[in-house]
Structure 1
Amino acid sequence: MYIVFDFETTGLDYKTEQVIEIAGAKLDENLNPIGTYNTMVALNEGRTLPQFIRQLTGISAEDLKDGKPEDVAMQELKEFIGDDIVIAQFASFDLSYLSKVLLPERFICTRSMARMLRPTEYASLKNLIKIYGIDNLDPHRAYADVEATIEVFKAQKKECDEQGIEYMNVLIDSNERPLSYVPDNAIVKYMEV
């Protein structure tokens, strides 16, 4: 089974920032969704929501007021994931936050898959949904990004499998978007852009 997941956060550094929204979808072996997890996360005491994040996500401090405490939400996500393979669009980022509660044995990065399939194309979720003709009606909201990532993964998995491209635990590092977090079990490949 697979878990496609996404975080919205207060910033990029998992050591100093926090998660504000979590979404996940469990997929069966045929890549059909069979379960979901989605929650808002309350701001930690003394933390404010940066203006940039409010503009990017549309999430306000008011939206987070009744959210779960971060440690509770992350523990629930850990239980939702279990031993399944995790999938994220820019896995280095999402795995950095997940590492606070779980270091998954197996993961797939759809951004890295895109870099291996199309080395000269920009590998953002926004660009990938254009390439594959996928709708994302609410970008930078966790569950909408999960839904888009599922469709991107389905298309890329087929292409990678047909071309014999190995993608399990592979992260592509590049000058365009250097990796800020690398799990111990990652296979890192460098690619100039």
Structure 2
Amino acid sequence: METLAIIDFETTGLSPGEGARATEIAAVVLENGQIVRHYQSLMNAGVRVPFFITNLTGITNEMVRCAPPAAKVMQEVADFVGDLPLVAHNASFDRKFWDAELSRVGRTRQQEFACTMLVARRVYPTAPNHKLGTLAAFARLPDTGKAHRAMADTEMTAHLLCHMEETLIQRFQIGHLSHALLRVLQRVKVADLQSTIRKLIRAA
């Protein structure tokens, strides 16, 4: 597997367009199927954490008040990630917050996201659903800690990605799982998965 950056946000709501802000971010660098670097920080965006978010994540208003400013965190994590291809579970969510928080510090994303949730729908169509926790249990992935905390979810996404690579290698004899292949697979129909991969192998 090529070197990738995997990220996960915890936030105050569903969309930055509706005023939600990030409360925590984690990122890992995955190299040759191994996590080689970590970044994690709570972040203070100057907004209140709703009670239901605290119940879900365990992140309190006091924790956020004591955290570094969101601008400082985003500068650090953007430098940490650099220009590595990005991966997230339910990437449409994390991409919105990545772009919105970056724009607040005058930076712009250059690379594309790949989504492990979309790919998992194609690779594991018989899973009960494709939430990260469900997939972790379905695939018997290692426990990484409390769900809905950024580092635990980021590390779980890394394990899921590696498991999907193993599954695709065994099922279709691909050489490795690249970011470009992830982005192709996340768009194909389940019924077209095999034929799409066969075409890509022949074209390689």
Category of TM-score, reference length = shorter chain: 0.7 to 0.9
- Cα distance in 2 for partners of 1:40, 1:78 equals 15
- Aligned residue identity for 1:94: D
Query: Are residue 114 (structure 1) and residue 136 (structure 2) matched?
Result: no
Identify the residue that residue 21 of structure 1 maps to in structure 2. Answer: 24
Shift of residue 26 of structure 1?
1.0
Deviation at 1:74, TM superposition (A): 1.4
Q: Percent identity?
A: 30
Greater Rg over alpha carbons, structure: 2
The residue aligned with 1:148 is 156
Report if aligned partners of 1:109, 1:170 keep a CA contact under 8 Å in 2. Answer: no
Q: How many residue pairs end up in the alignment?
A: 173
Change (3 A) 1:170 1:140: farther
Alignment of 1:27-42 (within 5 A): 27-28=30-31, 30-42=32-44
Quick check: which one's strand share is greater? 1
Structure 2 residues without counterparts, runs of 5 or longer: 103-107, 191-204
* TM-score of the two chains, using structure 1 as the length reference: 0.80
Structure 2 CA distance for aligned equivalents of residues 24 and 82 of structure 1: 11
- One-letter code aligned to 1:115: R
Which sections of structure 1, spanning at least 5 residues, go unmatched?
173-187
Higher helix share: 2
CA positional deviation for 1:104: 4.2
For 1:98 and 1:141, locate their aligned partners in 2 and report how far apart those are by CA, in whole Å. 16
Aligned position for 1:129 = 136
Structure 1 counterpart SS, 2:7: strand
Partner of 1:53: 53
Could you say what the CA RMSD is over the residues aligned between the two structures, in angstroms? 2.1
1:167–1:53 CA distance, 2 compared to 1 (3 A): farther
- The DSSP-based 3-state class of the residue aligned with 1:168 is helix
Counterpart among 3, 6, 31 of residue 8 in structure 2: 6
